[in-house]
Amino acid sequence: MTIDQAGVPEARPGPAFPEHEARVDALRQQLSAISGETTIRLAKRTSNLFRSRTAANHPGLDVSGFSHVLRVDPEARTADVEGMVTYEQLVDATLPHGLMPLVVPQLKTITLGGAVTGLGIESSSFRNGMPHESVLELEVLTGDGRIVVATPDNEHRALFHGFPNSYGTLGYALRLRILLEPVKPFVRLRHVRHHDRGKFFEALGEICAKSEHEGEHVDFVDGTVFGPDELYLTLGTFTDTAPTTSDYTWLDIYYRSIQRRETDHLTIRDYLWRWDTDWFWCSRAFGVQHRLPRLLLGRRFLRSSVYWKAVALDRRFRIAERLLKLRRLPPEETIVQDIEVPVGRAAEFLEFFEREIPISPVWICPLRQRPGGVRWPLYELDPEELYVNFGFWSSVPLDPGERDGVHNRMVEAEVTRLGGHKSLYSDSFYTEDEFWRLYNGDAYRELKRAYDPGERLLGLYEKCVRRR
């Protein structure tokens, strides 16, 4: 291995993808031009993070070119993918081969690198875990300027296992090799209503344990809670044929169909993106769940990436906050979170949530770590436990004298009490001691010393809680 004048190693192990290697060399040149005293950040146009950050004046690394699916190997059922590839791109590359990633997060513009370093979940997670559990090989630009290839059993195995939930504070994923699984052309859906939260989660646990419901195999499981006595399990099964298929990419709204239909059929592509058109149900905040605006906007603008731009505009100009003041309404606290608790405590969490946090609907998604006993130190799950993810994304009014963050802190405390975990893609309010106790500070600090000893990348607490 040789070292260039900037002190960056030039040799890298791994397969040969010449165009990718050229992009890596260009990135190294960018890095060498940035002062060693400057904190490194990515310069990218898209993000699915929901926490504000302090504005930075220094230049960032332009990784926008790392957006290529390098290879799909149908025989090995693997794909080599650059870190900025979106799941929409990846799905479009794999479906023609009758394959899909083991877990496809709900929004089209989530990148593969982002899902692996920041976690992800979907309705196949009860059998396939999270996106990082399907990674075979990971090429990373580390904080100290090295480009290393990490695998589960090579000299960088600690980085491989510590990369999930590090949120770019140890390095940036440039290339990933992932496992794929076979699909069928259609998915048959059953929306099974429950009236009691205890029986709802009992049924969820049984279905996930057997991958079966009423004699029919189940490939996908998620749920939607509309109220204390209106809870739905949505069970998806691959199928070769469908009598008809529904279309939720324009005029019709998927989440409303859950309350109106007992069965449904979607193409596999439309199933994977069933939540994207209306950002689950959050499109209602933009007034586009009425027929006329949907007619005018068309499919092109009914997608999560457009709503995200509207949110960014609101944050920049504080539009919603100003409107509340003009209407003499109390300020609101944004609560955008995904948490998971063991299935045996899920009813308890939902009871707390319905009592304290007036947000509806709520998304439900079961999760179990893939077999094998692999330890992911920055986000440890009990490999024998089924967890239930709760996703809730809205805002609630603050009572006089309440400070912003009070409801989020209540959620954090309850999740900890119930032995659960909270994702860090949105606002967090933990104290530093509490944070490192929950997210394995000892393991993180060891990885930081090994791969970013000069702390050129932000630390995990600084990035996720202090929002620097």
Tens-place pLDDT, residues 137-153: 999 999 999 999 999 99
Q: Please, what's the b/e burial string for 420-431 (b: 16 or more CB within 10 A of its CB; e: otherwise)?
A: bbbbbbbbbbbe
Choice between 50 and 257, residue whose per-residue pLDDT is larger = 257
C-alpha distances (whole Å) from 165 to each of 82, 115, 361, 377 are 19, 9, 27, 9
The token duo for 388 is: 């239930």
Residues contacting residue 165 through CB under 8 Å, at least 6 positions apart: 117, 118, 119, 376, 378, 379, 424, 439
Residue 4 in this model has a pLDDT that exceeds 70: no
> What is the number of residues in the chain?
468
On the question of pLDDT at 9 being above 60, the answer is no
Q: How confident is the model at residue 380 (pLDDT cuts 50, 70, 90)?
A: very high
Residue 15 banded pLDDT, cuts 50, 70, 90: low
The H-or-E segment that residue 243 falls in is none
Distance CA 158, CA 371 (A): 19
Residue 297 has pLDDT above 90, yes or no: yes
Q: What would the pLDDT profile of 219-257 be if each residue is shown by its tens digit?
A: 999 999 999 999 999 999 999 999 999 999 999 999 999
Interval 293-301 mean pLDDT: 95
CA–CA gap between residue 118 and residue 156 (Å, rounded): 19
Place of tokens 């490999």: 383
Q: Which of 400, 381, 387, 276 is nearest to 330 (CA)?
A: 400
Distance CA 146, CA 6 (A): 11
Look up residue 174 and give its two tokens.
């440039």
Q: Specify the 3-state DSSP secondary structure of 148.
A: strand
Q: Which of 306, 293, 294 is nearest to 250 (CA)?
A: 294
Q: Retrieve residue 124's tokens.
A: 């196949």
Q: What is the pLDDT of residue 291?
A: 95
The percent of residues in the chain predicted with pLDDT above 90, rounded, is 82
| Domains recognised in the chain with CATH numbers | 34-179 (3.30.465.10)
Residue among 209, 198, 254, 206 at smallest CA distance from 231:
198
Q: What residue type is assigned to position 210 of the chain?
A: K
Ramachandran assignment for 405, one of left (phi > 0), alpha (psi -120 to 50 degrees), beta (any other): left
For the cut 60, the answer to whether the pLDDT of residue 12 exceeds it is no
Look up the pTM and report it: 0.93
DSSP secondary structure of 34-69: S-TTSPP-EE-S----BS------S--EE-TT---E
Determine the average pLDDT of the residues in 47-64.
69
Inform me whether the pLDDT recorded for 355 exceeds 70.
Answer: yes
pLDDT at site 61: 86
pLDDT mean across residues, the chain: 92
Element (H, E) at 337: strand 332-342
Encode pLDDT of 77-114 as tens digits. Answer: 999 999 999 999 999 999 999 999 999 999 999 999 99
pLDDT number for residue 321? 75
